[in-house]
Structure 1
């Protein structure tokens, strides 16, 4: 993040860089694992012709009732030459990237293409109407 714009006011940000101390030789394997995750447990995040590198997650809500855990998905795209990085956290949406992966993929697609492909528009309803909850019940 280089700057944040809110109400027409731009605030430039500067951060101190931190390094992991690990060599760059590890990153190709990590990125490949993230690409495979989208083809596996995060299939709902797949966008035709855009390779996403991502990771699903579940944040437990700590309640012992009917309330669902939280859906988490972090990604960047295109994996080969990233233009966007995103983290999506959807409260009480169930495990993994079920809701968050779809939300992230729609944002990524809109950012990269400038539009959502017609064949993927149904996913907007899937998220806005919380249809992912039906998947968890059925």
Structure 2
């Protein structure tokens, strides 16, 4: 009874901090790995590392193999991960159409003279992000083409 009351009335710390900054935290439903892209990433890495296991495998070797697999994800896992994110976004929008993206992020760069200017090309520092109006975006994942 106390646990239920706390769960219903006390927000997670990340939710409290986000709300203070004007953001909303959206949580995916528990026990739905098909809506959790990180589950696909972990399955890909765990499977590849597990296939290399033998009787001489040490913890140090497992660590090195994990690091190597995470590096390989940037090239070999890109299409699968991007497809999973797109699928999750499509599924979410079926249930919550109001989540359609209405703004996009652009990089704010500084020229030699010190003037700031918008640049859509590449984001180098998360602290340089600002909101910009959408450019006729129909789907929320069109801005997620690159990770």
* TM-score, with length taken from structure 2: 0.25
Larger strand proportion, structure 1 or 2?
1
* TM-score, with length taken from structure 1: 0.26
Larger helix proportion, structure 1 or 2?
2
